[in-house]
Every structure is written in C-alpha cells, then in structure tokens.
Amino acid sequence: MKLSIPAREFLAAQTTLTLATTNVDGSPHACDVFYASDDECSFYFLSDPKTAHIQNLLRAPRVSATVHGASRGWQEIRGAQVVGDAARVDAAAERTHAFGLYVAKYAFVRQWLPSVETLGLAIKHLGVVELYKITPRWFRWIDNTQEFGHKEEWNA
C-alpha cells in the first residue's frame, strides 16, 4: 500500500495510535499505544501480552485503529483510519526491522529493552513486553488542510 507523501510524513510525526479490539462479550475496547510505521503502512507497537487489547486481538485479530493530530478547527483535521489484522511479530528478520523502527522513534525504550532479544523476557518494572503488528486491509487518509472532507482510500 503506497501512501501519499503528506500521509507518510504525518504518520512519522505522530506517536499515538488508538487501537480498537473486540472483548469476549462482543463489546468494543479501545486503547492508545505508541507506534512506529514503515513504508508498507504496517504499524508496530509494544505491549504486555496480558493486557485486554492483546488478549482480544489474539482471539479476534481483526482490529481498527486511528491516528490523528491535535486540531482546533475543522480546517486542521488530519488523520488516518485503518482496518486490518493484528498479531504478534514472530519472524526474526521482521522483529529486528520493527524493533529498529520503534527504538529509532522512541529512543527512551532502549533503557528498558536494550535489544530485540529482550522482547518477550520479564523486564524489571515492565514485566513482559512483546512486539505486535497491524497489517492494514483498508486505509483512509483524511486531510482537511487540503479541503473539507478530502479523503484518500486504499484497499490491500
């Protein structure tokens, strides 16, 4: 999925993704996570495997997410909406790639997780942290700075 330059720059500049999963009873669950994204529009994040959102996505991997910046008027609204599948990243090469993207964006993470090999281990004060990925099936870029209601959509 090839994003426009404004969409790529926007995603690189933002830090927080709101992830929506489905609870066991079918009710929605939303949480915010720091993320890093790549050129293929994959979103990577770290989380404790025991959290509700991870338990939900392991059971029902179809998720949705949003990324948006602060705005004070409708003319400033910009953001992304995503529907896709989420899973733990297990392949060694992808783990290395994604961890590199993540710590490049959030250098402070290295104080707790010095290397990709520390993922999945119990870390003092953190517990266990794993790496997860959202692979979009559908993506919408909204950019009211271009004009009201400007949208670009992609299907995987």
- Of 64, 44, 54, nearest to 23 (Cα)? 54
> Domains of the chain by range and CATH?
5-155 (2.30.110.10)
Scan for tokens 């490049």, then name that residue.
104
| pLDDT per residue as tens, the chain (156 positions) | 677 888 889 999 999 999 999 999 999 999 999 999 998 889 999 999 999 999 999 999 999 999 998 888 888 899 999 999 999 999 999 999 999 999 999 999 888 887 777 677 666 666 678 999 999 999 999 999 888 988 988 887
Look at residue 135 in the predicted model and tell me its pLDDT. 96
> How many helices and strands, by DSSP H and E, does the chain display?
3, 10
Scan for tokens 């929605």, then name that residue.
28
Question: What's the alpha-carbon Rg for the chain, to the nearest Å?
Answer: 16
Look at residue 121 in the predicted model and tell me its pLDDT. 65
Q: In angstroms, how far is CA 107 from the centroid of its own chain?
A: 17
Pairing of the two strands 28-34 and 36-37: unpaired
